[in-house]
A and B are shown apart, each in its own frame.
Chain A
Amino acid sequence: MKKLIAAILACMLVLSMSAALAADKYVIAMDTVFKPFEYTDAEGNFVGIDVDIMKAIAEDQGFEAELKSLGWDAAIAACQAGQADGLIAGASITDERKASGWIFSDGYFTATQCMTVLAGSDIKGFADLSGKMVAVKTGTQGAAYAESLKEANGFDITYFEDSPTMYQAVIGGQCVACFEDTPIMAATIKENALPLEIVEGSENEGAPYGFAVFKAEKQELIDKFNAGLANIKANGKYDEILAKYLD
């Protein structure tokens, strides 16, 4: 028994040492589908703006980033639990999130949000939403935008877990409109020939997305991210990535 315990302790010691040696490796948690920020392409590769930016910054700063596509809720939990070091998932930088102990990097992308309706719909503005049901995706800035308009315009909100289900709710008529990031919405409508249209003049001013870590001891990762972001913006790599996904 004593020998067994000793052996286990020795194993743990070796493991913790090897973990310490590989200190320059960070586990980055990500969402599963948030096109075009992260998604799996037709060949089965995990790609997107977040993926490419993270890889470019890791290369620039000389650390290894192990990307884990966990899903939005799980990514948040993984960072809190220490299972992951940071999170990049098209997460907007908000004061409420900062108040919960999260630290955000500089914004790496600013998206505006807009309202989208069925093509040929009677809904021409927010006032037409009175008494109707609106679809949003949980945790997005689109949801926050819709919530900010809810009281004044007297509509109700249904929260869906992913974008395809949200679009389906508008196409199927369960909801009359949805709120989504403008570049994503425009790209999705075009790519899939969805019978949807963005309502003119429905855009807000937008909020920046940030890379996030949960604890102050991960500040060095934020510093590296910010430094790397500045570098890839300066050397043109950043524009290259955006151009690749947002044509």
Chain B
Amino acid sequence: MLRIIDVYGELLLKAMGQTLLLALCGLFFACILGLIFGLMSVVKNRPCNIIARIFVDAIRGVPMIVLAYFIYFGVPYLLNTIMKIGGVTLTALQAGTACLALNCGAYMAEIIRAGIESVDKGQMEAARSLGMPYWRSMYRVVLPQAIRTMIPSIINQFIITLKDTSILSVIGFPELVNTAKNVLANTFMSFQTWAIVAVMYLVIIQTLSVLAKHLERRLKHGL
């Protein structure tokens, strides 16, 4: 175990950094996608609802590992070979970010939709009857109340997505699991390597959980 830390410690730390980088990139775009599609599914506009529904159903219906292979290998193939655009290559980070953003974005959209729908209809009606326009009522009245119920689910989703980065080891992104497989192939020390990796994940996720608890406490007293 000590020998692994001694020889491969630096490599594993770098991989931890890559895991964080990938998770942050993925989560950033997932929040944007989630907000867009979440709002699209609550507004009173049929085509918007349908588009949001299709997005959520399509992404939720495909396992992330399949999505990862599809984006990394399928998209360049589609563009280069079938559509003859040519010269398109995706790095593992780009494909990984897209994959996480789509996957997590679909779940975020559902969390945001459920959060908004959990706010009593009377709140929106009251705001509108006071003469506030729809979007301002949404932004000033409904969303602040919705966010409080959404926060625990969103944080849960962040943690799931952070762990899902491990799935992207299959497209060769040098995150923790991918790197750990290299270390154990070189050293043939399976348990020691996985134990170290487990601890590293625990540290990342505990840090995130503590930060999240702090944020949740602050939001309890209103925005």
Q: Which residues of A contact B (CB under 8 A)?
A: 72-73, 76-77, 80-81, 94, 96-97, 99-100, 102, 135, 138-140, 143, 158-161, 165, 168-169, 172-174, 212
A50 to B91, CA, bound (A): 35
Instruction: For the complex formed, measure the closest distance between the CB of B34 and the CB atoms of chain A, giving whole angstroms.
Output: 28
Residues of A within 8 Å of B190, CB to CB, are 73, 76-77, 80
Other-chain contact of B170, A80, A81, A165, A174 (Cβ < 8 Å): A165
Other-chain contact of B89, A81, A139, A174 (Cβ < 8 Å): A174
A158 to B188, CA, bound (A): 20
Tell me whether A159 and B174 are in contact (CB under 8 A): yes
Tell me whether B186 and A173 are in contact (CB under 8 A): no
Residues of A within 8 Å of B189, CB to CB, are 80, 100
**B178 in contact (CB, < 8 A):** yes
Q: Mark B167-194, 1 if CB is under 8 A from A, else 0.
A: 0011111100011011011111111001
Residues of B within 8 Å of A100, CB to CB, are 3, 187-189
Residues of A within 8 Å of B80, CB to CB, are 173
A22 to B174, CA, bound (A): 44
Smallest CB-CB A-B distances: 8 pairs: A139-B185, A158-B172, A77-B190, A97-B188, A138-B181, A76-B190, A100-B189, A160-B172
* 9 sample A-B contacts, Cβ–Cβ < 8 Å, listed by A number: A76-B184, A77-B191, A138-B182, A139-B184, A158-B172, A158-B174, A159-B181, A161-B170, A173-B76
Nearest B residue (CB) for A135: B172
Instruction: For the complex formed, measure the closest distance between the CB of B63 and the CB atoms of chain A, giving whole angstroms.
Output: 16
Interface residues of B in 64-93 (CB under 8 A from A): 69, 72-73, 76-77, 80, 89-92
Nearest B residue (CB) for A144: B186
Residues of A within 8 Å of B169, CB to CB, are 161
Contact A102-B90, Cβ < 8 Å, known A139-B182, A143-B182, A172-B77: no
Tell me whether A97 and B73 are in contact (CB under 8 A): no
A100 to B8, CA, bound (A): 14
Instruction: For the complex formed, measure the closest distance between the CB of B74 and the CB atoms of chain A, giving whole angstroms.
Output: 9
Residue picked from B172, B189, B191, most chain A C-beta under 10 Å: B172
A142 to B173, CA, bound (A): 18
Residues of B within 8 Å of A172, CB to CB, are 73, 76-77, 89
Residues of B within 8 Å of A160, CB to CB, are 170-172
Other-chain contact of A174, B3, B76, B179, B191 (Cβ < 8 Å): B76
Tell me whether B187 and A97 are in contact (CB under 8 A): yes
Other-chain contact of B188, A102, A138, A168, A174 (Cβ < 8 Å): A102
Residues of A within 8 Å of B191, CB to CB, are 77, 80-81
Residues of B within 8 Å of A139, CB to CB, are 181-182, 184-186
Q: Mark B80-114, 1 if CB is under 8 A from A, else 0.
A: 10000000011110000000000000000000000
Instruction: For the complex formed, measure the closest distance between the CB of B176 and the CB atoms of chain A, giving whole angstroms.
Output: 12
Tell me whether B181 and A161 are in contact (CB under 8 A): yes
